[in-house]
Amino acid sequence: MRWVTYATDTGDRAGVIGDDRIHPVAPGVSLVELIGRGAEELRAAGEEALASRAHTVPLAEARLRAPIPRPPSVRDCLCFLDHMRNCRQAAGRPRTLEDAWYEIPAFYFACPSTVVGPYDDVPIPPGSAWFDFELEIAAVIGPGGRDLTPEQAERHIIGYTVYNDWSARDLQLREAPLAIGQAKGKDGATTLGPFLVTPDELEPYRRDGLLALRVEATVNGRTIGTGSTGAMDWSFGEVVSYASRGVDLVPGDVFGSGTVPGCCLVEHLSLAEPAAFPGWLRDGDVVELTVEGLGSTRQSVRASAAPYRLAPRHNPDRRPARPRVNRASSRLPYTRGLHEVGAGVWAWLLPDGGYGWSNAGLVAGQGASLLVDTLFDLPLTAEMLDAMRAVTDRHPLTHAVITHSNGDHTHGNQLLGEHVRIVSAEATCAEMRHELPPELMAAAQVMDLGPVTPYFRERFGAFDFGGIHPRLPDLTYDGELVLDVGGREVRVTNLGPAHTGADSVVHVPDAGVLFAGDLLFVGCTPIVWSGPIANWIAACDAMIATGAETIVPGHGPVTDPDGIRAVRGYLAHVVEQADAAHARGLSFAEAVRAVDLGEYATWLDSERIVVNLHRRYRELDPTGTPEQGQLALMAMMAERALS
């Protein structure tokens, strides 16, 4: 039989399915009460309901709740060891499991109060950017028991249902060092439904004592994983037996199977190939899980409000972070916020200019304005746009120029109204299509990356990568583009490739202001992701040639042409050091250890010399210097910074 609990105007009602209609049992009798009577009485109650002349409800019109809306307890088991192996591999760890996994049928407790029905919306846990589903099945206990053998435990299972173990992977990883089991990472929601199917209906699917049910998980119609529940390493009988040791199991207790291998998102994550990852769940995504013999669940994911922040406690054993001071001189106070840098031109500054702390700009004309770049996360961008409203309410934003593809200049694009035309170089738009998904940036905040973990936590811990939906440019250009912003000429020029594959600068001739994007770092070290370095040096000359006297860098305080000359000098120094090391026969790794930064050693993030030397070595000897991925180079920078 297939049993359901469904909502009515007078409360929840239990019923049995017959001919695609729900045949209700007597009012006030819950499914938990029925299953506690045992299999024979449950069958008798079902037959009585099917034979009754009571009003029935079309299954398609009913609002199904979880079969057991508030279970006495929910234990999620880890019966599929391949799922655990796959998760370890996704995190960059060996697939080998400790002996305990082969000796103990592991489980943890989930939250009964967050059980939801098979078609209910599911909120993303507050503060999570890595929301995932997990396709499982669940066994439900009928009559209770204690100290059961595996054979007895199987007989105490009254039915089975589809189980979705919704998981906040970033919260889960962040809590892992506590080593006290699952907590907020698994607290958000658990789906049960649509039916509770009695064991007799599933006998045709039983193979070697296990239910072998075909399963499929899709997101927005795209198949993420398929498999069979017959791949369980631990049977339900075994895990229920283990859980019953010295404990009274009661009617309605739920036991999840653990994830069918491949049927969740995290198993498809590869730090080596992040672009192949299908992405974490976002607002509006539709997740459908189908299990042979048990039915399907279909649910939409919904955004939730930001969490209330808690101040961390003082850690007396933690080494204090090294002070970060941007020592560059500035033409105006280098403070967070909006600063007027010319007539009708403003810079938005975010000290100290390190990773993610980028600048942006605003140019106002008559009845129109243009934004230069957005910021690294949505809260930062919202703060900036709100501060700009004193200008943009009178001169509404019509354009936004994106100087290059990096997320600290693009992640806030979605907060711009649809009427705002986003502009970039063609190569910038192409790079944005292949940028690291924003939510994967949270890896630096939550994953154990070994000895370099403190570096990444310090550099990226302050940002919120949740809820970001990359918005691509609406208009692209090649070479140069002249925009009319309320009768005001704004010149946009691509001087790349250099920092990235394309690097635009925004010149406001009548104000003598140039927004340099990340072709200019002031008081902090440039980083040559793309190059060639000679092209960046030429870009410095081109910026000076504009005649602008006020220069807003992508990172650091507002400067003048001398700030550009300083960056030009640094790049020339990199070339000189790299070429000399290469001529001496030093390998790239040896050159990193031998380099003399001289006057540039005090610039923030000086460890970026690793990337810059690598780029120059690749220019000098592309065959003798293997290409390094961005993550590998970041790890090398972290090691240098922490040494």
pLDDT (0 to 100) of residue 434: 86
Across the beta sheet with 214-219, the strand order is 122-123, 295-302, 286-291, 214-219, 222-228
Percent residues over pLDDT 70 in the chain = 100
Q: Provide the domain limits for residue 297.
A: 67-302
323 within domain boundaries: no
User: Which pairing describes strands 369-372 and 360-364: parallel, antiparallel, or unpaired?
Assistant: antiparallel
Per residue in 163-181, pLDDT tens?
999 999 999 999 988 989 8
In terms of C-beta density within 10 A (0-12 exposed, 13-18 middle, 19 or more buried), how is residue 381 classed? buried
Question: By three-state DSSP, how is residue 241 classified?
Answer: helix
- Whether residues 363 and 460 share a domain: the answer is yes
331 within domain boundaries: no
What gap in Å lies between CA 14 and CA 84, rounded to an integer?
36
What gap in Å lies between CA 297 and CA 120, rounded to an integer?
9
pLDDT (0 to 100) of residue 306: 86
17 within domain boundaries: yes
- Whether residues 25 and 136 share a domain: the answer is no
What gap in Å lies between CA 73 and CA 250, rounded to an integer?
9
Q: Assign residue 171 the CATH number of its domain.
A: 3.90.850.10
324 within domain boundaries: no
Question: By three-state DSSP, how is residue 31 classified?
Answer: helix
What gap in Å lies between CA 116 and CA 358, rounded to an integer?
42
CA dist 123 → 84, 306, 498, 507, 642 (Å): 25, 12, 42, 44, 39
329 within domain boundaries: no
Last residue of a domain, one of 14, 34, 60: 60
Q: Is the peptide bond before 352 cis (omega within 30 degrees of 0)?
A: yes
Per residue in 480-505, pLDDT tens?
999 999 999 999 999 999 999 999 99
Residues in Cβ contact with 175 at an 8 Å cutoff, skipping those fewer than 6 apart:
182, 183, 184, 185
Q: How confident is the model at residue 629 (pLDDT cuts 50, 70, 90)?
A: confident
Neighbours of 21 (CB within 10 A): 17
Q: Is the peptide bond before 497 cis (omega within 30 degrees of 0)?
A: yes
326 within domain boundaries: no
What are 124's two structure tokens?
A: 């993303």
- Whether residues 29 and 76 share a domain: the answer is no
Q: What is the mean pLDDT of residues 403-421?
A: 97
What gap in Å lies between CA 256 and CA 68, rounded to an integer?
13
Question: By three-state DSSP, how is residue 439 classified?
Answer: helix
Lowest mean pLDDT of 6-20, 335-349, 427-441, 608-622, name the range. 427-441
468 within domain boundaries: yes
- Whether residues 151 and 230 share a domain: the answer is yes
Number of domains in the chain: 3
- Whether residues 252 and 346 share a domain: the answer is no
- Whether residues 525 and 617 share a domain: the answer is yes
- Whether residues 598 and 453 share a domain: the answer is yes
- Whether residues 509 and 367 share a domain: the answer is yes
Nearest 5°: phi and psi at 532? -75, 155
Last residue of a domain, one of 41, 60, 79: 60
Partners of residue 157 on adjacent β-strands: 141
Up-side HSE of residue 314: CA atoms within 13 Å toward CB? 2
In terms of C-beta density within 10 A (0-12 exposed, 13-18 middle, 19 or more buried), how is residue 28 classed? exposed
Cβ distance 386 to 415 under 8 Å?
Answer: no
Q: What is the DSSP letter of 413?
A: G
450 within domain boundaries: yes
Q: How confident is the model at residue 450 (pLDDT cuts 50, 70, 90)?
A: confident
Q: Of 348, 361, 341, which is closest to residue 401 (Cα–Cα)?
A: 361
- Whether residues 421 and 279 share a domain: the answer is no
Q: Assign residue 410 the CATH number of its domain.
A: 3.60.15.10
pTM for the full model?
A: 0.88
Last residue of a domain, one of 302, 317, 350: 302
Cβ distance 109 to 63 under 8 Å?
Answer: no
- Whether residues 480 and 386 share a domain: the answer is yes
Nearest 5°: phi and psi at 334? -90, 80
Per residue in 309-333, pLDDT tens?
899 899 999 888 788 889 998 888 9
End-to-end Cα spacing for the chain: 66
Q: At what angle do helices 609-620 and 533-545 cross, to 10 degrees?
A: 110
- Whether residues 46 and 150 share a domain: the answer is no
Lowest mean pLDDT of 86-90, 254-258, 517-521, 612-616, name the range. 86-90
What gap in Å lies between CA 244 and CA 250, rounded to an integer?
10
Q: How confident is the model at residue 387 (pLDDT cuts 50, 70, 90)?
A: very high
- Whether residues 143 and 185 share a domain: the answer is yes
Q: How confident is the model at residue 449 (pLDDT cuts 50, 70, 90)?
A: confident
CA dist 243 → 82, 235, 545 (Å): 22, 12, 75
